[in-house]
A and B are shown apart, each in its own frame.
Chain A
Amino acid sequence: MKKYSFYLVTLLGSVLFLSGCGDQNGNASSNGALASNNAEKVYVAPGEHDEFYAFMSGGYSGNVTVYGLPSGRMFKEIPVFSQFPTNGYGYSEETKPMLETSFGFIPNDDSHHPDISQTNGELDGRWLFINGNNTPRIARIDLKTFETAEIIEVPNSAGNHSSSYITENSEYVVAGTRFSVPIPQRDMPIKDYKGNFKGALSFISVAPETGHMDIKFQLIMPGFNYDLSHPGRGKSHGWFFFTTYNTEEANSLLEVNASQNDKDFIAAVNWKKIEEYVENGGGTMVPANYTHNLYSDETHSATSTMKKEVLTVDPTKVPGAVFFMPTPKSPHGVDVNPTGDYIIGNGKLSADLTVFSFDKMIAAIDGKKYDGEAYGLPILKFEDVLAGQVKSGGLGPLHTEFDGKGNAYTTFFISSEVVKWKVGTWEVIDRKPTFYSVGHCMIPGGNSAKPFGKYLISLNKITKDRYLPTGPELEHSAQLYDITGDKMELIYDFPTHGEPHYAAAIPASILAPKSQKIYKLAENEHPFATKSVSDARVVRDGNVVHVYMAMIRSHFTPDNIEGIKVGDKVYFHITNHEQDFDVPHGFMMIGATNSGLLIMPGQTKTTVWEPKQEGVWPFYCTDFCSALHQEMQGYVRVSPASSNIDLSWSLGE
């Protein structure tokens, strides 16, 4: 007992010491009492629930992870663009079509910017959208099931980076290309980039009832790099803003050659005007090749459809639709404050933030006060549209979020800090270090008209010394700040999986009540479902064998199968008959070269097994489902290819 209290004293002592010297601003606000108060702020007692769901992009893992705030506990990893052997996503016959593209089956991607659907500018929690950066795709995740429901490929694009941001009534999710490319793609010298490559900004409509996505039009822009984007809201609803870099249109050693211009552009796109143009028959339908993959909760299966054309719009044909606002210096983030009045450009090679006024922009456009043009598109005069500059004193501003109380928070990659400043006066109120090299930050609802300004998360790139080392590879680090007071307080940090570029969060009270608990077996329309155990059977069609199998605690029906031959292709179509929350069953077959399955109550999933060796081979349930989980197993007898043993199957006597 004595020993423990000694440790405790030592521990408390070091907490006091660390928090004292860890305050790099020299503020006296942080002391031991506050540090312990901070522990309480993030402590979610056993059995208690978090206040927010946070959806973190998984970067090169191609997925989305779901965290609770403030606890930082990870609840789920949602596979989106990558195969996921945990549950068979991208391996099962039902989900393979989700990863089809015009390039073929692509089991990986780089997922960057999640955004939650909105109604009237407020989070409605129906869907989460996220972009695949490498092979341009946009995915829609259903927030009832937390499963990927739809993926649409984006043609004429490369590096789908300025995505996936959503307009205030979820009219459009935007997919802007980072890399400009020849449109249409063709064999040509790379050095002829300038003037020949183009950048496509795709406006993907979202059907209000179903969420189904469709590319309404692609704006074919000059060959810059389009980095990030943001929709207008409130008075600026109807506009979309995109940052550009490499307005030099360099094609080699971009770190130097794309950093020559003092100012790049923020492209302001009046999408309502273009929508009107398109609806009146404007635009050019061009041949294209891209997939549209849709998952059904009824058939528990995805279908992949190839689309053959896309509507393109030449912005010079729609006067008054696209303008450039010169922005220093290679801006990364472009963010619109909750009221829609200001557009903040974060020049990542600059120390200052550039804030544009929407009203001034409209006035300049109305007054036709241009400062020349680029490829026929008018450039507005910097001074005419400037609302103010935040003289931050930081270095490398990347991205700004808002708390809904008139404050903005900007991350600085190079100086590793978050800077809080006041919208309107542009004065810096507070700054706190991050550990280290922060990319985006996120405030729940920060991307909407109604932020929930309680927490801010910084999504840091460099982790060293924050956690126990795990060899050369470290997970990235997120840090949680309490932003309810005048001064931000760093209250917690936790590792994040993959490379979380950006995140979106929503109050749990919006999502939790409508979270789906099971799939109803009665509504299962999978063509190979076994909805009644009396339908369990094995059917041969040449050397293809279909096993219609049911599973419930704690057995498979059937559990013994004979008459399978070497060289057969055996499809196990397995239906989980449970109708109880949180009772999945797993399936793994020895020697299967595909993947295991994790099958939810009421769901059917299929995996393929091609037996190569004679013998009697077991399969079993991989999810500890009941006291008799270990007994949940069965055998398949595999005979020589030449044998004439009839198919048979059984369960019990």
Chain B
Amino acid sequence: MKKASILMIIGSLCLLGLFKFPLWNIMLGAPQYPDPLGMNIHITGIQGVSEFDLQNIDGLNHYIGMKTIPKADEMWEFKAFPIVIISMSVLGVLLGLLGFVGKVDYRYFLGWFILMSILGVMGMYDFNVWLTDYGSNLDPHAIIKVTNEDGTPMTYKPPLFGYKKLLNFNVSSMPALGAWAMFLGMSLTVVAFLVGWKSKRSPSS
């Protein structure tokens, strides 16, 4: 159970990587952008991959009537997400410590994982809602209006995950280093659960 608790602590601490590394990365490449424009979505705000990428994405997006990319203080998420991540990290470390001294058992680790997964899915859902709004809530005076075959206005929602062709742009949307650290951390908490479960069944270890 000590081993499991240590894994639980390490796993929970992995979440803190999100304060240094981006959660998500969206890249926009086009023939005239051989070096793609890109944005890194951090839990504290959105940053350009290169210095002027956000400005240049906004400049392009204004043709199709998209809003400018929100600043950190323009979205409640960028305040809430850091709190959630710190809370979950602290909670995980706490559970790990309590597990270490035998006050809680491995089932709490799984509980943490399930809670984190629910929060993660909620976060993804929220992110998707934002992407949908960003890509489809267009200025009616937009310079370029493209309609789908059925006559409805085209939306420019970047994919939540994977690749998509948006007009002349090839858009990719992938979890970034911070997210991978989080996934690793979450996986470790599952391993912590499994290790804890095993040690319970074979009391020798």
Contact = CB atoms under 8 A, between A and B. Distances in A.
Contacts of B56: 579-580
Contacts of B144: 627
B63 A579 contact: no
A552 interface: yes
Contacts of B35: 581
Nearest to A626: B63
A628 B63 contact: yes
B59 interface: yes
B63 A552 contact: no
Contact of B52 (A518, A552, A628): A518
Interface in A584-630: 626-628
A114 B39 CA distance: 43
A553 to B, nearest CB: 6
Nearest to A580: B56
B204 to A, nearest CB: 60
Contact of A580 (B52, B63, B143): B52
A581 B56 CA distance: 10
A553 B55 CA distance: 12
B143 A579 contact: no
A553 B52 contact: no
A446 B140 CA distance: 62
Contacts of A628: 63, 143
A581 B63 CA distance: 19
A26 to B, nearest CB: 49
A581 B32 CA distance: 10
Nearest to B32: A582
B167 to A, nearest CB: 11
A517 B93 CA distance: 47
A520 to B, nearest CB: 8
Interface string A552-567: 1100000000000000
A518, A578, A580, A628: residue with the most chain B Cβ atoms closer than 10 Å = A580
Contacts of B51: 579
Interface in B26-69: 35, 51-52, 55-56, 59, 63
A518 B55 CA distance: 14
A296 B178 CA distance: 42
Nearest to A552: B59
Contacts of A553: 59
A579 B56 CA distance: 7
Contacts of B52: 518, 579-580
Contacts of B63: 626-628
Nearest to B37: A580
A628 B55 CA distance: 18
Nearest to B51: A579
Contacts of B143: 628
A638 B7 CA distance: 78
A627 B64 CA distance: 12
B200 to A, nearest CB: 58
A579 B35 CA distance: 14
Interface in B114-161: 143-144
A42 B143 CA distance: 45
A553 B56 CA distance: 10
A408 B59 CA distance: 55
B205 to A, nearest CB: 55
Nearest to B143: A628
Contacts of A581: 35
A627 B30 CA distance: 15
A47 to B, nearest CB: 9
A552 B56 CA distance: 11
A633 to B, nearest CB: 15
Nearest to A582: B32
A578 B52 CA distance: 9
A39 to B, nearest CB: 27
A580 B54 CA distance: 11
A626 B51 CA distance: 21
B65 to A, nearest CB: 13
A579 B60 CA distance: 12
A578 B60 CA distance: 11
A318 B9 CA distance: 80
Contacts of A627: 63, 144
Nearest to A601: B52
A626 B52 CA distance: 18
Nearest to B34: A47
A580 B144 CA distance: 21
A579 B143 CA distance: 21
A626 B64 CA distance: 13
Nearest to A579: B52
A288 B116 CA distance: 80
Nearest to B35: A581
Contacts of B59: 552-553, 578, 580
A580 B28 CA distance: 14
A628 B143 CA distance: 9
7 contacts: A553-B59, A579-B51, A579-B56, A580-B59, A626-B63, A627-B144, A628-B143
Given A578-B59, A628-B63, 16 more contacts: A518-B52, A552-B59, A553-B59, A579-B51, A579-B52, A579-B55, A579-B56, A580-B52, A580-B55, A580-B56, A580-B59, A581-B35, A626-B63, A627-B63, A627-B144, A628-B143
Q: What 10 A-B pairs have minimum CB-CB distances, sorted nearest first?
A: A579-B52, A580-B56, A579-B55, A553-B59, A628-B143, A580-B52, A579-B56, A552-B59, A627-B63, A627-B144
